[in-house]
Amino acid sequence: MSTSTGEKPLLRVKDISVAFPVTGRGIVRRRIGSVRAVDGVSFELRQNETLGLVGETGSGKSTTALAVLRMLDLSGGRIEFDGHDITRLGRARMRRLRRGMQMIFQDPFASLNPRMRIGRILEEPLVVHGLTGDGRGSARRVDELLELVGLDSGTRDRFPHEFSGGQRQRISIARALAVSPKLLICDEPVSALDVSIQAQIINLLVDLKRRTGLALLFIAHDLALVRHISDRVAVMYAGRIVELADRDALYERPLHPYTQALLAAVPRPDPEVETARGIGLLPDEPPRSIDPALGCPFSLRCPKAMDVCRCETPPLRMRDARAVACHLYGPD
């Protein structure tokens, strides 16, 4: 199965898994199993491309992002970034390479030190990575960064609490861009913001990608937002990618029953359409990812489940120019 883009990728993630131990109660707390938060995930991402990663809470999106950054240990698989195998890289070398891969988080307020002025916050990554040059150089860079994200350079002496939520997320983006990364991982970057501000931040990310050639791994549960920003979209369920396709192909003709259910649950502006189609297509059953994994993880909720689905896990394979993991679709 190929999940490649056809060009030399900036990031190549091959069959990665992340497992967390489950321990029993009592004093001994013996290990009784494991939760596979990420299970055999593969994808590639090239420069100046945005891959959207969607799925419900607990589907493994954020764990995948942390694994890519090597902030979590892998149970298996391989990660290559910018031509380097980073799967088992030591701390010092990983720190140097991490300059090329930065992350922005859901809550900009929690990720900014409330006691530091904005100028210091933006200078900090330059200091950590030895990029300060003379003092004037770093001051110029701070002004450039503020301008890049649409903030006035006069704001450099203010504290995070003096900004709105949208402005704080702009500051987080500026801090991530300070070291000129090639990859920006955005983990639900707008879900804590007002709807009116969300569009501004998304447009800013689109514009930054166009101007700098950044690659974006954009994680969200809002499918409308992901459609707006992504070139390709991967749908995750229970730690696995169940469908990966070009954006338009996925939104116009989803194949996997889970993708179909997610898209069916997106609210439409027409109240008649909304009433006619009904809502709540997904029974409220959490994704299961505890050993042993038998069959399709979506089988308990899938309206199209067959006998085979309960005993054989469907592999991710190519079908109609996309990758899909479902027994309804054989190989091309």
Binding-site ranges for ligand SF4 (CB under 6 A): 256-257, 296, 298-299, 302, 304-306, 309, 314, 326-328
Radius of gyration of the chain (CA): 21
Round to whole Å and give the CA distance between 312 and 329.
Answer: 14
Closer residue to ligand SF4 (CB): 41 or 184:
41
Minimum CB separation of residue 288 from ligand SF4 in Å reads 12
Measured in degrees and rounded to the nearest 5, phi and psi for residue 17 equal -135, 145
Minimum CB separation of residue 210 from ligand SF4 in Å reads 36
| Sequence-distant (≥ 6) Cβ neighbours of residue 284 within 8 angstroms | none
Closer residue to ligand SF4 (CB): 182 or 256:
256
Q: What is the DSSP string of 34-89?
A: EEEEEEEEEEEE-TT-EEEEE--TTSSHHHHHHHHTTSS--SEEEEEETTEE-TT-
Round to whole Å and give the CA distance between 94 and 67.
Answer: 13
Residue 314 gets which letter from DSSP?
A: P
Minimum CB separation of residue 289 from ligand SF4 in Å reads 14
Q: What is the DSSP string of 209-231?
A: HHHH--EEEEE-S-HHHHHHH-S
Closer residue to ligand SF4 (CB): 3 or 299:
299
Minimum CB separation of residue 19 from ligand SF4 in Å reads 22
Closest CA to 23 of 34, 10, 15: 34
Round to whole Å and give the CA distance between 65 and 48.
Answer: 18
Closer residue to ligand SF4 (CB): 139 or 281:
281
Pairing of strands 215-219, 183-187: parallel
Closer residue to ligand SF4 (CB): 234 or 302:
302
Minimum CB separation of residue 240 from ligand SF4 in Å reads 11
Closer residue to ligand SF4 (CB): 104 or 242:
242
Minimum CB separation of residue 154 from ligand SF4 in Å reads 54
Closer residue to ligand SF4 (CB): 108 or 257:
257
Minimum CB separation of residue 167 from ligand SF4 in Å reads 42
How far apart, in Å, do the first and last CA atoms of the chain sit? 11
